Amino acid sequence: MAFRAAVERWRTDVLEIDVHITADGEVVVSHDADLDRCTDGKGPIAGRTWAEVARCDAGWSFSTDGGASHPYRGTGVSIPRLAEVLDALPGARFNVDCKARGPGPEARLAAVVREAGAEARVCVGSEHPEDAARLVRELPDACHFFPGRALVGAILHLRGQIEEAPSGPWTVLDMPLYFGDDRLVDAAMLARAAALGLWVNVWTIDDRAEMERLVAEGVGGIMTDRPDLLRDVLDRRG
């Protein structure tokens, strides 16, 4: 429901998603590793079968008024499998963060992507270097984002703080805008990234002024919980 609205209503270019693996090997789309916060289920996704996860009400906890009402509770909202999302939105691109630790999960994720023929429309990765490297081996034709330590090194180089340039199969930086009070991104940093053929996505920006500044500076992508606000910023810029 939310993914379709983002694409069809707000014309979102790329959907940023996290995936986990159920106990019986299904790749599911969920930010949380556990069912407790957002559904009426309990426990880790990795410890539940797909049938158990599918029965959970993913609209259970959502509220816009502090819990006084739950507009999606009991309406059939569920945690989807990655295969279902790729099939439902064949024109959409995805930034897929594999939260399940390996070895093993990356092969399941790669199999789903290959079966959907989606290698050209996904950027995949993990913050953990070993898992990210396995994903590169499993999906060599896909885009890959920098894992944790390599990301730090790339940011330091692009900010002129170390000489060593980023290397390896990574082409996308998924990064925060701030480290403490230090704003990590500016026009010069983005220009250096572009010169190296690197793409920069910044998360999680829900403030209009920051969106406008980032777009003006030339950021590649903005990860946000407010696609409506970002669409308005982009449309006003033409």
47-93, pLDDT tens digit by residue?
A: 999 999 999 999 999 999 999 999 999 999 999 999 999 999 999 99
- Burial class from Cβ neighbours inside 10 Å (0-12, 13-18, 19+) for residue 18 reads middle
Lowest mean pLDDT of 2-6, 149-153, 172-176, 214-218, name the range.
Answer: 2-6
pLDDT at 194: 97
Residue 238 has pLDDT above 90, yes or no: no
215-227, pLDDT tens digit by residue?
A: 999 999 999 999 9
86-136, pLDDT tens digit by residue?
A: 999 999 999 999 999 878 899 999 999 999 999 999 999 999 999 999 999
13-41, pLDDT tens digit by residue?
A: 999 999 999 999 999 999 999 999 999 99
164-197, pLDDT tens digit by residue?
A: 999 999 999 999 999 999 999 999 999 999 999 9
User: pTM of whole model > 0.75?
Assistant: yes
- Burial class from Cβ neighbours inside 10 Å (0-12, 13-18, 19+) for residue 238 reads exposed
Q: How many C-beta atoms lie closer than 10 Å to residue 100's C-beta?
A: 21
The predicted model gives 135-147 an average pLDDT of 97
| Contact predicate 110/98, CB 8 Å | no
Residue 49: helix, strand or coil by DSSP? Answer: coil
Residue 1 has pLDDT above 80, yes or no: no
pLDDT at 2: 84
